[in-house]
Amino acid sequence: MTFVVFTNGLLLVGMGILMAVNALLFPMTRMVFLEAALLTTTVGGLVCISTANRLGEMSRLHSFLLTGSTWITAAIAGALPLWLWEMSPADAFFEAMSGITTTGSTVMVGLDATERGILLWRALLQWIGGIGFIVAGIALLPIMRVGGMQLFRTESSEKGEKQLASAARFASATIWIYLVLTFVCILAYIAGGMNTFEAIAHAFTTVATGGYSTSDSSFGLFDSAYLQWMATLFMLAGALPFAWYIRVLNRGAVRSEQVQALIVTLAVVILVMTAWRVITAGSPVFETLRLVAFNVVSVVTTTGYATTDYTAWGPFAVAVFVCLTAMGGCTGSTSGGAKMMRWIVFMRSARAQIKRIRQPHGVLPIRYEGRSVAQDVMSGVITFFVFYFASVVVLAIALSLFGLDMTTSLSGALTAVANVGPGVGEIIGPAGSFASLPDGAKWLLSFGMYIGRLEMLTVFVLMAPAFWREVA
């Protein structure tokens, strides 16, 4: 337990240092970030000093507590400069939680005129959240056996750690890949005409599949085919499993079932949507392909950028994008959502159940990456989906209590739990924002982002009284 508290203290110190750096870089918001840095580092430092000599051991139960608490700590710390900048507590926490969970929903308007220190802080929160979730996905969630994530331990840890000799080197390689992708993305954006600040801010949120922008127009600010294709490429790069990058670099082992499923799914949806737009709207083929590819990849990877209001394309487009919201990228990536690995196991399990009706006594093993999927993994995946969609429904009903219409309530709940960003409809669609929602709805959506990022079960375990009795 003490180790968990100490780690949260270290996190506060780290966040405080980043605030201090921000204060040095941007004079217009210097006092805001200096005050926040002083408070955050002081609290974090006192926590570390008081717990450093009695850390104790880290158990599986402590992993749940560590994972659940660090995201709350990071969100509160991230909200502090925004609150000192005179945002309301609900708005500041919503914006910070949306950032640290890489959701990308925003309550801020007038971004084009907003101080750069605030804009970079939002982008930095998403960048930190992206690498933080990769580490959690690789190191902690498989240990906690959340939602079938032990299958990812088989896919990544056993292969990756043998290649790199230790988990520490595996994590180090992951961080380096993240840094390289970010740096290359910055260079690509600068080459396309972005200024240095825009390139850094957007590279942070592209590779993290977060979606925060420096403009109310989102990525639509940049009327450049090159920049939009580059963003599409790097959004996809952020949604691929980082363990897969390591395998490719070390052994040239390109094959991955979830990578293949993601790319095939994207290709099919993009081609169908493009053909539909060209036929029904008479849109130019290559321009339509670019717009469709950008926005489809943005939603599937849970980035949340938009270059156009795709909900204006008609009911078919709205239905497609709502379905895409629930998908997500690959396990072990920065992406949110249900993840491709779970969809593969779920679909194969459903197919096996259908076959079992015809062959009651048949042996029908479910395989993933050439290995049989254990029963506890399948149960974990199915349980995840039950909690996933139940959370969306309950959250949507709760949002409706604040007077939100059905479209806003349901799409808001889904986009929060899936960590996508924009919903559908006039209020929170790609052309809107969450600014006009009641404070109560913002708090609920913040909770939705939180449970969605931590795979639901992690948070619900912490709510069980039995958990605290065992930890104690």
Contact, 99 vs 210, CB < 8 A? Answer: yes
End-to-end CA distance of the chain, in Å?
8
- Secondary structure string (H, E, C) spanning the chain: CHHHHHHHHHHHHHHHHHHHHHHHHCHHHHHHHHHHHHHHHHHHHHHHHHHCCCCCCCCHHHHHHHHHHHHHHHHHHHHHHHHHCCCCHHHHHHHHHHHHCCCCCCCCCCHHHCCHHHHHHHHHHHHHHHHHHHHHHHHHHHHHCCCCCHHHHHHHHHHHHHHHCCHHHHHHHHHHHHHHHHHHHHHHHHHCCCCHHHHHHHHHHHHCCCCCCCCCCHHHHCCCHHHHHHHHHHHHHHCCCHHHHHHHHHHCCCCCHHHHHHHHHHHHHHHHHHHHHHHHHCCCHHHHHHHHHHHHHHHHCCCCCCCCCHHHHCHHHHHHHHHHHCCCCCCCCCCCCCCHHHHHHHHHHHHHHHHHHHCCCCCCCCEECCEECCHHHHHHHHHHHHHHHHHHHHHHHHHHCCCCCHHHHHHHHHHHHCCCCCCCCCCCCCCCCCCCCCHHHHHHHHHHHHHHHCCCHHHHHHCCHHHHHHHC
Known binding residue 303? Answer is yes
Contact, 270 vs 289, CB < 8 A? Answer: yes
Known binding residue 43? Answer is no
Known binding residue 420? Answer is yes
Known binding residue 103? Answer is yes
Known binding residue 42? Answer is no
Residues 5, 66: Cα–Cα separation, whole Å: 8
Tell me the binding residues: 102-103, 210, 302-303, 419-420
Tell me the binding residues for K(+): 102-103, 210, 302-303, 419-420
